[in-house]
Structure formats: C-alpha cells, structure tokens
C-alpha cells in the first residue's frame, strides 16, 4: 500500500516536469522550423560573409519567434505588431542593401507581390503607368501587413483583400476584369500550344 502511494506521488510530481519539458521542446521545434525557413529565404541573397549571414538569420528567426509569441499572447495589439515590424525592418536595413531587404520581404510572403504584379500586367497589357503604380503601391502595402501574419493562410488573406481593392479600382477605370482574364488565359494557351 505504501509503495503504491509513493509511486502515485512520484507520478504526480513527474507530471509538471514532463509538461515543463514538452514546452521548451515545442519551442525548439518551432525555432528549428523558422531557422530552416530563414535559410531558404536567405539562399536567394547569396551572402558570402558567413558572420553577416548568421547575423541576418538571427534577426529573422527572432522576428518569427516574436510574432509567434505575440500571436499567442492575450495582449496582441496592432501597435505592438507595428513596433515589431518597424524594429525588424530597420535591423535588416542596417545589415543589407534595400534590394536584399525586398527579397527577404518577398520570401516571408511567398513571393506573392512580384507574382501578382506580373499577373496583372500580363493580363492587362494596356495598363497605364499610373495604374501600374497604384497596383504596385497596394501590393507593397499588402506585403508589409502580410509579413506580420502568423500563418500562410493569414498572409494570403491580406493579399486577397488588396486584390479585391485592385479589381474594384480597375473596374472603376473601365476594365472588364473577367473579359481581360479570359483573353489572358487564351493568350497563354496559344503560347503553350506553339511550343514556347
């Protein structure tokens, strides 16, 4: 009876320890995941200086981790998110060229900005310069917000909202988006069937 009682007590004492061990494990797993993600994004930059590479990767991993903690906290506010964003971008800018910072921003948002911008300009070849500029401006704004999203779904949702705004803007400028898309698809089909 005493032995059983002792084993139960040991078991109960071990439970909080196991719980305490599992939390750092999940945090370590998250850090490993975002480190791998950061490496993948940084590969595009071809940074030869290994010290600089590690420094930039550290900045990126910390940002992912800070955003994750903010996501999980009760006090998640737009102001805190904005402060994190501003600090992160200024840290990247202190280490990298503006073009490299752009690549990191695109990498963190799955390259949606360049792909979407190219899609609009390919779909509507008659876009005027000010229309292209407006599309780029909104997509850039979307990317800045999407960078702080906690999941891929959240990031894509931000771009979806801005694509809706762009479509409304273009419709208001006299473009028939459905017609333009249909023509674009036909052009792409013809392009592929010509073996290009």
Tell me what pLDDT residue 128 has.
97
Structure-token match 């420094």, residue found:
55
Give the pLDDT band of residue 175 (cuts 50, 70, 90). very high
Give the pLDDT band of residue 3 (cuts 50, 70, 90). very low
**What digits encode the pLDDT tens for the residues 19-28?**
333 456 788 9
| CA 8 – CA 5 distance, rounded (Å) | 5
**What digits encode the pLDDT tens for the residues 22-74?**
456 788 999 999 999 999 999 999 999 999 999 999 999 999 999 988 888 77
Name the token pair of 155: 């990031």
Report DSSP state, residue 137. Answer: H
| CA 121 – CA 131 distance, rounded (Å) | 10
Does 71 or 17 have the greater pLDDT score? 71
Does 120 or 22 have the greater pLDDT score? 120
Tell me what pLDDT residue 24 has.
63
Three-state DSSP state, 1: coil
Tell me what pLDDT residue 9 has.
39
Instruction: With CA atoms as reference, report the closest residue to 170 among 119, 134, 122.
Output: 134
Note the helical H segments in the chain: 2-43, 50-72, 78-95, 98-108, 112-123, 129-146, 152-172, 177-193
Name the token pair of 123: 């779909």
Structure-token match 């949702």, residue found:
157
Q: What is the mean pLDDT of the chain?
A: 88
| CA 116 – CA 109 distance, rounded (Å) | 12
* Percent with pLDDT over 70 in the chain: 85
User: Going by C-beta distance under 8 Å and a sequence separation of 6 or more, which residues neighbour residue 166?
Assistant: 120, 134, 135, 138, 139
| CA 41 – CA 44 distance, rounded (Å) | 6
| CA 195 – CA 174 distance, rounded (Å) | 34
């Amino acid at each position: 009876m005493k032995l059983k009682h002792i084993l139960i007590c040991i078991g109960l004492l071990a439970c909080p320890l196991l719980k305490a061990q599992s939390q750092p494990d999940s945090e370590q797993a998250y850090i490993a995941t975002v480190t791998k993600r950061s490496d993948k994004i940084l590969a595009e930059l071809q940074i030869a200086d290994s010290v600089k590479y590690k420094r930039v990767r550290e900045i990126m991993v910390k940002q992912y981790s800070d955003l994750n903690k903010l996501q999980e906290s009760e006090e998640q506010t737009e102001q805190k998110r904005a402060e994190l964003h501003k600090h992160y971008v200024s840290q990247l800018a202190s280490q990298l060229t503006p073009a490299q910072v752009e690549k990191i921003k695109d990498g963190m948002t799955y390259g949606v900005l360049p792909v979407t911008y190219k899609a609009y300009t390919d779909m509507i070849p008659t876009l005027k310069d000010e229309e292209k500029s407006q599309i780029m401006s909104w997509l850039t704004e979307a990317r800045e917000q999407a960078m702080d999203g906690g999941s891929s779904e959240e990031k894509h949702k931000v771009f979806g909202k801005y694509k809706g705004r762009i479509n409304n803007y273009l419709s208001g400028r006299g473009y028939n988006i459905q017609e333009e898309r249909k023509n674009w698809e036909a052009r792409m089909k013809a392009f592929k069937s010509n073996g290009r």
